[in-house]
Structure 1
Amino acid sequence: MLDIFFRTLPFFAIIGLGFGAGRSGFLQPAATAALTRFVFFFPLSAMIFRFAANLTFGEIFDPDLLWAYLIGTTAAYLMAVGVALWRRQSGPVTAVEAQCFAIGNTGFLGLPMMAVLFGEASVAPVMLILAIDLIVFSSLIVILINLGRGQGLRPGTLWLVVKGLLTNPMILSITAGLLWAALELPIPDPMNEFLAILAGAATPGALFAIGASLAIKSAERIEVAAWLSFGKLVIHPACVAACVLWLIPVAAYPAQIAIATAALPVAGNVYMLAQHYGVAPQRVSAAIFLSTLASIITLPAVIAWVSTF
């Protein structure tokens, strides 16, 4: 485990560097928002497109992995829903807390980290997991919040879901890359160099942006945030492990990637949704902070375990 810890430490060191820049005031909140937007729309999209363009749909689409990860994540999601309802939380708050259990920082942290630790072959299962997160659970929270507010499944709600998917650069990058690969188009050298240079900024930029954004988040209901962090870092990967190892067994390599990806800390886009709808944003920000901090220890432990498969 010590070897894995030292291999993951540089990732968290860059997050810490970003946190220091944000906390010290060197990077103002507006600059942090601009940096996050830049990374999200440009370097990360270039990285995803470049990876996807060298894959086929068959390499990404693994039905056993899809169902195993989806069922495992749904199990963790429903556990969060049950506990929130037992605590008599409102429908929108319940949806937000369940989202913290289910959605990890797959794009900004998981994709670059898994590629370094497990090799570029990990990109295919990570992209499948990313698609599940974006298409299923990121759509579900919008629907549940609107249902919880008594607005029902109006055309406006469904349009918000569809619009979110159609304008998400990660979905667009995966789709464009797969189409490029399906058409068997070669990537010209100048284009490949352009993508490589731009994608090179994705990993340090994304990690730095994570740290800087953590520095400006406020905390609320620490005990609830601790529960949500425990759910994301422990319960979610345990549920996914049960599914990929026993319920719907998948090959050892994608099982490793699925469990490790499930062990990632709470994603920043959960906070963006909570803030947009005005539903417990401080609670979510505290969960993101605590889960990211704790994952310095828990994530290497999970990766060390799955590496024994």
Structure 2
Amino acid sequence: MLPIFLKTLPFFAIIALGWFAARIRFFPPVATEWLTKFVFYFALSAMLFRFSAALDLTSLWDPAFVMAYLGGSLTVWLIGMAVARARGLSLPEMAMEAHCCVIGNTGFLGVPMLVVLLGPQAVGPVLMVLIVDLLVFSTLITLIISGSGRGPIGWRTVAPLLKGLVGNPMIISMAAGLVWAWLRLPLPDPLVEFLDLLGAAATPGALFAIGASLVARSASRIGPAIWLSFAKLTLHPLAVGIAAFGIFGVQPFAAGVMVAAAALPVAGNVYILAQHFNVAMQRVSTTILISTAASIVTIPFVIHWITGGLP
């Protein structure tokens, strides 16, 4: 357990460094904003394209993997909806809390960390998780909140969603990489060096930006945030693990990566959605803060289980 903790420690140390730099105002909010944009649009996109373009597409698509992750995640999503409804929340609030229960920081934390800790063979499963999160759950919450109390869902509801999906650089870079892999095009050496150089900035940049963004998150609505953090860090990987290992029989390594991805803390882009729709912003902000802090302990346990139980 200690060796795994020591392996994950540098990742969280960079997050802590980002938090400290922002806390003492050496790294102001505007710097965090622009660093996040650089990582999101350039460094992370280069990394995702590089990974996607080198994949073997015949082994990437696994219906059992998709069904296991989707089934486990939807189970926890429904639990989140039920608990929110029992507390008398509105439908938009219910959807936002359910979204917190299943959307982990796969892009900024999962892709860099899990690939380093579990090896390059983890790229395919991590990308599949990211694709399901972006295409299924981002669509689901947008349709629910946009259509709530506004009559039938029409083009005015769907158009911004499609624009957001098409304009998402993570989706564009993954799609471009997968097309490149499908066409079996070679990657010229200068292009590889360019992508590797730019993509290398994704890991430290993303982790530093995560830490710096935590400074803006105040701790209030503690009770709901603790429940949502528990659901994300414990119930989500548990449900996904049961679906992957016990129901759909996913290949052990891919199933382990899936569980590790499900154990990631709540993603920062959930707050962007909450802010955009003006729904449960403080609750989401506190949940991101608590789940990220708690994941320093929970993620090493999950990685230890995966690496100890896999051949």
- Quick check: TM above 0.5? yes
CA contact 1:60–1:127 (8 Å) conserved in 2:
no
Provide structure 2 residue ranges, at least 5 long, that are not aligned to the other structure: none
- Residue 48 of structure 1 is matched in structure 2 by 48
Q: Hey, what does 1:104 align to over in structure 2? A: 104
Whole-Å Cα distance in 2 between the matches of residues 231 and 20 of structure 1?
28
1:59 CA drift (Å): 2.7
Structure-2 separation of matches of 1:25 and 1:194: 33
**Residue 218 (structure 1) shift:** 2.4
Partner of 2:214: 214
Q: Secondary structure at the match of 2:190?
A: helix
Query: What one-letter code is carried by the residue in structure 2 that aligns with 1:243?
Result: A
| AA of the residue aligned to 1:250 | V
Deviation at 1:146, TM superposition (A): 1.5
Say if 1:47 and 1:202, in contact at 8 Å, map to a contact too.
Answer: yes
For residue 53 of structure 1, what is the amino acid of its counterpart? A
Does residue 270 (structure 1) correspond to residue 270 (structure 2)? The answer is: yes
Tell me, which stretches of 5 or more residues in structure 1 are unaligned? none
CA deviation vs aligned residue, 1:150-200 (integer Å, no higher than 9, x gap):
343121111122111111111111110011111121111111111111001
Tell me the distance in 2 between the aligned counterparts of 1:234 and 1:228: 10
1:120 paired with 2:120, answer yes
* Range with bigger deviation, 135-144 or 57-66: 57-66
1:138 is aligned to 138
The residue type paired with residue 156 of structure 1 is R
Name the CA distance, whole Å, in 2 between partners of 1:269 and 1:99: 11
C-alpha deviations, 1:107-141, integer Å up to 9, x for none?
A: 00001111111100100010000000000001111
Is the Cα–Cα contact under 8 Å of residues 39 and 202 in structure 2 kept in the other structure? Answer: yes
2:19 maps to what in 1? 19
CA RMSD between the two structures: 1.0
Q: For residues 252 and 301 of structure 1, what CA distance do their matches in structure 2 show? A: 17
Moved over 6 A (4+): none
**For structure 1, which segment, 231-240 or 209-218, has the greater mean C-alpha deviation from structure 2 after superposition?**
209-218
With 51-60 and 7-16 compared, the bigger mean Cα shift is at: 51-60
Q: How many residues align?
A: 309
Whether the aligned pair in 2 keeps the contact of 1:146 and 1:152 (CA below 8 Å) is no
**For residues 179 and 202 of structure 1, what CA distance do their matches in structure 2 show?**
22
The equivalent residue for 2:2 is 2
Q: Which residue of 1 aligns with 2:181?
A: 181
Name 1:236's counterpart in structure 2: 236
CA distance in 2, matches of 1:150, 1:91: 12
Q: Is the 8 A contact 2:147 2:157 kept in 1?
A: no
**Aligned equivalents of 1:269, 1:149: Cα separation in 2:** 24
TM-score of the two chains, using structure 1 as the length reference: 0.98
